[in-house]
Amino acid sequence: MPTPITPKNSKDPMPFPTIPWRILTWWILILPVLMVLALIIHSFYLLLFSHVMAGSLWTGADIFLGFLLGPIWKHLSPSERKAVQSRLIPKTLLYMPVLGLTTGTAGWYVAQYNGFATTHSTIFGWIVAAGFVTVTLTVVGLGIMLPTSLSMLKEMARPHPDPSRLTRLIFRNRRLAAVQGLLQVTIILIMVYLTIAP
């Protein structure tokens, strides 16, 4: 992990967060690459695989963070929370956005392939509902949770991190993770219906 640059005044915030590029989950980029390849060679199998795999990993991660890891935070000391976040954030920084974008994009193309993405489809309303939930998940993840994670990295890179600010940021993402988990359960209910819809 790169050594953070210490500002002249240690009370001033760092000008940018220190992102540990080497330990990001780069392997997750395989899924969008497969999706693009599927679109190029017109392989529905690869397209469906990238959609299902990305969606499964995304849903599992959100439910784990929201309902399993989330309730544990209140039982940890500030130093323990910082230790966990210093490892957790780099692992999710690339992982979650890639999964969200891949799931939604591949899902749209799958719906088009099956003829569901037209107003003439009997299940078009369910496709719209799935799209709305997916967009909401992506906006919350990229628009709120990702910036909050970057703020946490920035705070932890300071010579003297503010424990109260870190706690506020951690619990903001914890609450949002619970919301994401509930939305993921909603999308599962929609997907189950779509698999058995006439």
Q: pLDDT at position 8, please?
A: 44
- pLDDT tens profile 115-148: 888 888 888 999 999 999 999 999 999 899 888 8
Q: What is the pLDDT of residue 5?
A: 43
Tens of pLDDT along 60-92?
Answer: 998 888 888 878 877 888 778 778 888 888 888
What pLDDT does residue 155 have? 82
Query: What integer pLDDT is reported at residue 9 of this predicted model?
Result: 46
- Residue 109 is predicted with a pLDDT of 94
Supply the pLDDT for residue 17. 53
Model pTM score: 0.79
Task: Give me the residue spans of the domains in the chain.
Answer: 24-196
What confidence tens digit (pLDDT) does each residue in 154-186 have?
Answer: 888 788 888 888 888 888 888 888 899 899 999
Query: pLDDT tens digit string along 34-58?
Result: 999 999 999 999 999 999 999 999 9
Say yes or no to pLDDT of 14 above 70: no
The reported pLDDT for the residue numbered 99 is: 94
**Which one has a higher pLDDT value, 35 or 3?**
35
| pLDDT on residue 3 | 46
| Confidence grade of residue 198 (pLDDT, cut at 50, 70, 90) | low
- The predicted structure's pLDDT at residue 18: 67
Cα–Cα dist 104/110, whole Å: 10
